[in-house]
Amino acid sequence: MSSSPLPSPLVAIKLVPLGHATSMDQVAAALNEAAVTSDVAPPPCVGDFMSSAPTRVRGMAAMVLGYADGGSLADVMRSAYSRRKPLTPAVAMHFATQLALALKHVHDAGYAHLDLKPANVLLASAQAGMVASSARWKAANRLGRQQAVVKLSDFGVAAVAPGPGEPRLTGLAGSPPYMAPEMLSGAGYGREADVFSFGVLLYELLAGGVRPFPGTTLETAGRAILTRRPAALPPHVPRELAAIVKAMLRKDPAARPTFADILVSPPFAAA
């Protein structure tokens, strides 16, 4: 009687060189990332860690992560737009709905992610993590991307979200084009900042790579986010979907929907 060996899990290893201030900041972020992800007890739509903390290996801090074989949402967007084939609303909503579920899970666990952007949204095929999946899954170039499993990653700056009546978070976190206005203004922020970032990301998916606010630096993007209104989405975007994206991008954090609200809205409930 013969038996076949079970496929071995594939992992990704994050290496951070030790020895200078920037690296120590990265190590602190990695420690925070491991602690938050472990506490969140991730479902399939949140990037999973195989180890609870970085291990020192030959002058580097090493962290073993779950493997996602489809690259990132940034890769998908870059490939689509370079071929002048923007993602359809249906494909965009396939990614967005899973991401909203992941962020709701993070918020329900008491955290705010605070660094949402396409590069931090990883994609995995159904075979991810197994040696048996031979060739690298080309999420950016095949129709298989419509079956991609979203993995929210990079919890390095995630923080415990304030509850009602508690002091708001302060300081800048994340990437300028995705920062919420209340973070940029110094007014203090919480979970609502993730909703704004999600709105920027979804707008970008639907608008062929164009973000709702121009600029890439803290100065240029920050000024636009604080002072400008987003342009209307392209006419091919369904009206109800455009309306929920507009609600996510409101300047007033209290006026934005929660992820629970977003997931029961018609565009997401039907996705």
Distance set, CA 230 to CA 89, 175, 180, 212 (Å): 18, 18, 13, 5
Distance set, CA 23 to CA 17, 20, 60, 196, 255 (Å): 6, 5, 9, 29, 39
Rounded CA separation 45/9 (Å):
18
Helix intervals (H) in 124-265: 181-185, 192-206, 218-227, 239-248, 259-264
Integer distance in angstroms from the first to the last C-alpha of the chain?
47
Residue 115 annotated as catalytic:
yes
pLDDT of residue 37: 72
Rounded CA separation 145/140 (Å):
7
pLDDT of residue 138: 44
**How many Cα atoms within 13 Å fall on the side-chain side of residue 262?**
30
pLDDT means per 10 residues in the chain (271 residues)? 50 72 65 71 55 65 75 89 84 93 93 95 66 38 59 89 92 96 96 98 95 96 97 94 98 97 96 78
Q: Which of 48, 69, 75, 115 is catalytic?
A: 115
Q: Which of 200, 110, 115 is nearest to 152 (CA)?
A: 115
Rounded CA separation 17/54 (Å):
12
